[in-house]
Amino acid sequence: MTRLASGKIPVDILNRTVLGMRGRQSSDVLQGPEAGLDFGVVKLRKGFLVVSADPITGISEEVGRYAVKVSANDVATSGNRPQFAESVVLLPEGSSSSDVKKIALQIHEAAEDSGIAILGGHTEVTPGLRRPIVVITVFSVVDSYVTSGGAKDGDSILMTKTAGIEGTAELAKECKFGPGAISLSTLRSARGLIEKIDIADEAVAAYGTGHVHAMHDCTEGGVVGAVFEMSLASGLGFVLDEASVPVAPETREICGELSVDPLRLIGSGSLLIAVQEGKEDEVEKALRPLCRVTKVGRFREGRRVVQSRSGATQLLKEAPQDELWRVLGRPARRRHRL
């Protein structure tokens, strides 16, 4: 028996214990559970059903909003907008009716903002909890899609926005800094990065170019973790150039003060895109009105390599532990699918 550390369950253990437990076999399941993938796919009479579910377990503030946005982002990586959702809300003992209303309002407002209709769900008070847990399942009926496992040898890795968006906002809210270490204006700006968490617009625009083979949002493990999971799902290696990865000034300052690697910090709000070689400019042009886009590496056959700013290379054999867990002493809220 292997005792598990906090955070992601290692892929080899997932493969032995979880990913093969798929219930009844169905020819209608086109994409079942695999490490590194964002959603499942079911064949319909016309089109496909894309489904993703995620829990929010590590935060209390804005838990309903986070829950909607992260599951919506997973569906958006298919290249389609999220459409429907169900919610499960588990509350600690001692919660009040106002707590229920607050979370329900957060879910409603986030869903409305994302164009998602709430279909139903379940809400209860659960013994043994220290903070609320919210699980959102998001569905979309689509005509076509890509997964995080479709990258091809030679594809460029494009990245939207900057590294560690969500983690920067969390660190700014949760950490205590010494007098004068971080200015109030920087902290306010860092907390405001959470407004950039939605990736649907950029995912749909990128997919619409016809040159995208795979997409994945930067969640637990940050940019490095997301590239690793895409390569795992696609059966490829990669080269990631650390020096090319954009880092916002607020992120760089806060991460520097806390000795955090921004490339391994949870980064919801940033999208990785595997783009056909030679078509990068067309994808960048489509995204230019929406957000910053940067080429940060490429997929290839062979090893998974992170190239540092100094030119040294690190061979990556497994996804990194998220820096948020190391600093705050609790896991980032995302895991491998299933």
pLDDT of 265-318, one tens digit each?
999 999 999 999 999 999 999 999 999 999 999 999 999 999 988 888 899 988
Which one-letter DSSP state was computed for residue 42?
E
C-alpha 71/C-alpha 142 separation (Å) is 16
C-alpha 266/C-alpha 255 separation (Å) is 12
pLDDT number for residue 186: 95
pLDDT number for residue 310: 82
C-alpha 119/C-alpha 167 separation (Å) is 30
Give the tens place of pLDDT for each residue, 176-225: 888 889 999 999 999 999 899 999 999 999 999 999 999 999 988 999 99
Model confidence at 99: pLDDT above 50: yes
C-alpha 13/C-alpha 17 separation (Å) is 6
Of 71-75, 159-163, 193-197, 248-252, the poorest mean pLDDT is in 193-197
- In what helix (H) or strand (E) does residue 257 lie, and over which residues does it extend? helix 249-258
The whole model's pTM is what? 0.89
Helices and strands counted in the chain (H then E): 10, 13
Which token pair is 89? 């809300």
From first CA to last CA, the distance across the chain in angstroms is 20
Alpha helix positions (H), 36-183: 63-76, 97-114, 165-174
Domains of the chain with CATH codes: 11-142 (3.30.1330.10), 156-328 (3.90.650.10)
* pLDDT band with cut points at 50, 70 and 90 for residue 338: very low
C-alpha 259/C-alpha 242 separation (Å) is 16
